[in-house]
Amino acid sequence: MLTISETRRRYAAGETTPTALLESLHQEIIARDPAIGAYLSHDLDSALAEARACDLSLPLGGVPIGIKDNIAVYHQPATCGSRYLEHFVAPYDATVIRKLRAAGAIPFGRLNQDEFAMGSSTENSALGKTCNPHDPTRIPGGSSGGSAAAVAAKLAIATLGSDTGGSIRQPASHCGVVGLKPSYGRVSRYGLVAFASSLDQIGPITHCVDDAALLLQAMAGHDPADSTSLNAPVPNFLTEINAGVRGKKLGIPKEYFGEGIDPEVRSLVEKAIAALAAQGAEIVDISLPHTSYAVATYYVIATAEASSNLSRFDGVRYGKRASQVADVLDLYQKSREQGFGAEVKRRIILGTYVLSSGYYDAYYSRAQKVRALIRQDFQNAFSQVDAILSPVSPAPARKIGAAVTDPLLDYLSDIYTIAANLAGICAISVPCGNVTSEEHTQLPVGLQILGPPLAEASLLQIAKAAESATLA
Minimum distance from residue 263 beta carbon to other proteins (Å): 25
Distant-in-sequence, close-in-space partners of 50: CB < 8 Å, separation ≥ 6: 101, 106
Q: How far is the CB of 122 from other proteins (least distance, A)?
A: 20
Could you give the CA distance from residue 353 to residue 306 in angstroms, rounded to a whole number? 12
Going by DSSP bridges, is the β-strand pair 178-181/249-253 parallel, antiparallel, or unpaired?
unpaired
CB of 85 to other proteins, least distance (A): 9
Nearer to other proteins, 99 or 189 (CB): 189
Q: How far is the CB of 286 from other proteins (least distance, A)?
A: 19
Q: Any alpha helices (H) in 243-387, and if so which ranges?
A: 263-278, 294-309, 328-339, 342-355, 360, 366-382
Identity of residue 222: H
Give the Cβ contact number of residue 147 at 10 Å. Answer: 39
Q: Which is nearer to other proteins, 154 or 321 (CB)?
A: 321
* Choice between 49 and 404, CB closer to other proteins: 404
Q: Which is nearer to other proteins, 92 or 284 (CB)?
A: 92
Which are the catalytic amino acids? 68, 143, 167
Output 2 or 331, the one with its CB closest to other proteins. 331
Q: Dihedral angle at the C-alpha atoms of 100, 119, 345, 329, nearest 10 degrees?
A: 0
Contact between residue 171 and residue 149 where contact means Cβ atoms under 8 Å apart: yes
Which residue, among 118, 134, 168, 102, has the nearest Cα to 428 in the 3D structure?
168
Whether residue 393 contacts residue 174, with contact meaning beta carbons closer than 8 Å, is answered with yes
* CB 90 to other proteins: min, Å: 9
What whole-number distance in Å separates Cα of residue 275 and Cα of residue 265? 15
Residues whose CB is less than 8 angstroms from the CB of residue 205 and which lie 6 or more positions away in sequence, other chains included: 144, 147, 148, 151, 158, 159, 160, 161, 168, 171, 172, 177, 178, 179, 180
317/440 with CB nearer other proteins: 317
